[in-house]
Every structure is written in C-alpha cells, then in structure tokens.
C-alpha cells in the first residue's frame, strides 16, 4: 500500500510518502530553500514507536543529525536511504548529536570507524559518551546519596547495585570518535538551542530559514518525554522537570513550523504539542502537591502512593518523575523541604 500526499506552498514542497512494507515504515522527504532533509525512521517495539534520525543535505554538504541505535535495523535503514539517493556513508561530512542517549548515538562508531568525520555534541554529553570512569563513579555516588535522601531505602540500594554492574558491562559501549564540543549558539546552518530537561546535554538544532527544529527528545507527539534526573558536571542535581518546562516554553517562543523529533511522527503543530506537554507538567505537579497536602512527606512515599507497583517495576523512571516534579514545586514556591535524620521531608501550606 502506498499513499502520497503533496502539500505545496509558494516556496515549500513537503512530500509525504507513507509506505507499508513489512510492518509500518514511514518515509518523509522535505525540501525547502535548496535544502533537503531525509528522515530515517525505524520502527521499534516500544511505546516510542520509532527511532528517527535525519540526513540534512545542502548544495555542498551532507550532515547526519543523530544516529539511531547500534543495531542492524538502523544500520540497514541508513544504508538503504543513502543508496536510494546515490550516496554512501563516505558522503556524510559530519554528525550532530542532540543528546547522548543510546538510541541517538548508536551508529556513530560504525560510521566513524571507517570514515573519520567530526562528531558534535554538548559539553555535558562528552563524559557520558566517552564513559569516563571518574564521571560515571561520581554519577553512581550521586544516585546513591539521592535515593537515600529521598527515603528509597532498599529499592535505592538495588538500583545502585544495578548501576555498578552496568558500569562494568557497558565499558565497550563508549564512543570512540573524538567529540567536538559545541560552543556558542550557532553551528553551520543552525541556531543551537540548549533545551535541558529530558537529558542534561540536550540541544535542539533550529534551521531558522526553513522553520525546522531538530528537537531530539524535547518534544514528542504521541508520548511525553521523560525528564530524567541527572547530575551536572559538578555532581549537582539538575532541575529536570523545571528545565524541561522552560525548554518547551522556548519552543513556543521561536515559532518553529515543524519539529523533527527523535521518535514518532514529525510535529506539524509544535505550539499545540508543546503547550499540551507543559500543561501535563502542571497537572502532574498538582497531583503530587495534593499527595503532600494529604500527608505523604518523602519523595518515596509520594512515588508509592501515586505509582503503586510501578514504583518497584520502573523505579528509576518513577523517582525521576517524582523528584523532578517536587523540585519544580519547590522552585515555584509550592512546597518546602527539611532534612530529618538524613531524609528530605516535604511540606506544603
């Protein structure tokens, strides 16, 4: 089955081809101002639905924005798309990374091993991509202290044991290529917009003339992107949900026409999508506030009361959500906390 839909504005051709070949595979092609973007969209068996990365072609260069998972599906997908356009991996001039997560950097080693090209990322991505031991040990210490102080007790200790094992197991997953630290707010054709929240190093690449925002996991259409608790370079907890909220607000402000996200469909109404996710932050914060007003005092108590058995099943994610929203409530002055016997206790008026 093949559907084709053409939307033609005066200077804007948006060719949208939907194909169904062995499952669902969606191909888009975007052309504007002599620039072409070819999304590479690979189905994944999770709520994320797809992992997306993008070839960005100008008259004299070919840029890869993000690099999928390190698996054969993603590798075959990029090879096929390159081949369809008469290109090969050797034609890629550079890689830009929106953030360090494994579903965005997977093919970097495969590409750069044979074809050494510059790889660009935010400075906070580098110790994570390089799996720097000092940094990763500091990160485990950070979580150990955090879970104790949030009242997680044995569930926190289990997670720390898991992180320590993973530290050994994932040693070979480091990115071998030299990473160029992105400095300033301009890189090639793009405004570089720092949009932390989902990840501490997340940046969005905005092609202003075309109105295209390569947003990584800042904004997804079909699912809210999680603001994951992380330390900054000095081991200080970032205000992830607060940051995420303000990163979304920034998207509302720049007036992008189209968001090209890391997962799911391209977002044709970024303002509505961003506003919906911001509303969700406020609604969830409000629910946690009500639990505190009703007598839950620690983050672990709020997590158990709100998430029930999911607290055990998805512990790090659940704690990220609760801690992130409690930080948000604290910054906007709705809750306070005090340390009692090494554990933070929250209260509200």
Closer to Zn ion by Cβ: residue 201 or 217: 217
Kindly list the distances between the CA atom of residue 60 and the CA atoms of 93, 111, 259, 296, 307, in Å, as whole numbers in the listed order.
10, 20, 24, 59, 52
Closest of 188, 187, 184 to residue 58, by C-alpha:
188
Quick one: which segment of 32-40, 109-117, 216-224, 280-288 binds Zn ion (CB under 5 A)? 216-224
Binding mask 220-259 for Zn ion (x = CB under 5 A): ----------------------------------------
Q: How far is the CB of 313 from Zn ion (least distance, A)?
A: 20
By the 10 Å C-beta count (0-12 exposed, 13-18 middle, 19+ buried), 223 is classed as middle
Q: How far is the CB of 199 from Zn ion (least distance, A)?
A: 6
Closer to Zn ion by Cβ: residue 26 or 199: 199
Q: How far is the CB of 20 from Zn ion (least distance, A)?
A: 27
Residues 99-158 that bind Zn ion (CB under 5 A): 101
Residues 67-106 that bind Zn ion (CB under 5 A): 101
Quick one: which segment of 65-73, 106-114, 214-222, 285-293 binds Zn ion (CB under 5 A)? 214-222
Task: By CB under 5 A, tell whether 66 contacts Zn ion.
Answer: no
Closer to Zn ion by Cβ: residue 215 or 270: 215
Q: How far is the CB of 292 from Zn ion (least distance, A)?
A: 29
Q: How far is the CB of 195 from Zn ion (least distance, A)?
A: 12
Integer Cα distance of 22 and 20 in angstroms: 7
Binding mask 167-206 for Zn ion (x = CB under 5 A): ----------------------------------------
Closer to Zn ion by Cβ: residue 198 or 284: 198
The single residue listed with the structure tokens 């009361």 is 305
Quick one: which segment of 51-59, 68-76, 209-217, 243-251 binds Zn ion (CB under 5 A)? 209-217
43: helix, coil or strand?
A: strand
Looking at residue 332, what DSSP letter applies?
T
Q: Please count the residues of this chain forming the interface with Zn ion, following the rule CB under 5 A.
A: 2
Integer Cα distance of 160 and 245 in angstroms: 28
Kindly list the distances between the CA atom of residue 138 and the CA atoms of 10, 141, 152, 179, 258, in Å, as whole numbers in the listed order.
54, 5, 19, 21, 38
Contact by Cβ (8 Å): 170, 326: no
Integer Cα distance of 207 and 219 in angstroms: 16
**Which two structure tokens, joined as six digits, stand for 59?**
């008259």
Q: How far is the CB of 198 from Zn ion (least distance, A)?
A: 6
Among 217, 221, 230, 327, binds Zn ion (CB under 5 A): 217
Q: How far is the CB of 172 from Zn ion (least distance, A)?
A: 21
Long-range contacts of 335-341 (CB under 8 A, 24+ apart): 335/289, 335/292, 339/149
The residue ranges that bind Zn ion (CB under 5 A) are 101, 217
């Amino acid at each position: 089955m093949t559907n084709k839909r053409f939307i033609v504005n005066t200077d804007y051709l948006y060719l949208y081809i939907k194909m169904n070949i062995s499952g669902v595979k969606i191909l888009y092609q975007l052309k504007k101002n002599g620039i072409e973007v070819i999304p590479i969209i690979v189905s994944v068996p999770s709520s994320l639905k797809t992992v997306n990365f993008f070839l960005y072609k100008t008259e004299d260069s070919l840029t890869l924005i993000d690099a999928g998972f390190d698996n054969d599906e993603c590798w075959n997908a990029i090879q096929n798309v390159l081949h369809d356009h008469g290109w090969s991996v050797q034609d890629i001039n550079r890689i830009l990374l929106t953030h360090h997560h494994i579903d965005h950097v997977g093919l970097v080693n495969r590409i750069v091993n044979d074809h050494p090209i510059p790889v660009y990322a935010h400075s906070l991505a580098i110790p994570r991509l390089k799996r720097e031991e000092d940094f990763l040990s500091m990160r485990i210490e950070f979580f150990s202290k955090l879970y104790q102080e949030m009242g997680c007790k044995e569930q926190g200790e289990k997670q720390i044991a898991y992180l320590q094992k993973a530290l050994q197991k994932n040693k070979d997953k480091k990115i071998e290529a030299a990473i160029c630290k992105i400095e300033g707010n301009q890189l090639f054709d793009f405004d570089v917009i720092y949009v932390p929240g989902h990840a501490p190093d997340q940046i969005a690449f905005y092609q202003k003339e075309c109105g295209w925002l390569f947003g990584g996991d800042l904004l997804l259409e079909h699912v809210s992107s999680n603001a994951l608790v992380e330390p900054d370079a000095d081991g200080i907890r970032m205000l992830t949900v607060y940051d995420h909220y303000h990163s979304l607000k920034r998207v509302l402000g720049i007036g992008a026409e189209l968001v090209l996200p890391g997962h799911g469909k391209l977002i044709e109404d970024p303002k509505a999508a961003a506003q919906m996710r911001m509303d969700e932050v406020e609604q969830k914060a409000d629910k946690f506030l009500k639990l505190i007003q009703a007598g839950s005092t620690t983050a672990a108590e709020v997590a158990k009361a709100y998430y029930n058995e999911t607290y055990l099943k998805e512990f790090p994610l659940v704690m990220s959500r609760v801690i992130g929203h409690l930080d948000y409530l604290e910054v906007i002055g709705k809750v306070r906390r005090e340390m009692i016997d090494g554990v933070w206790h929250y209260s509200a008026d």
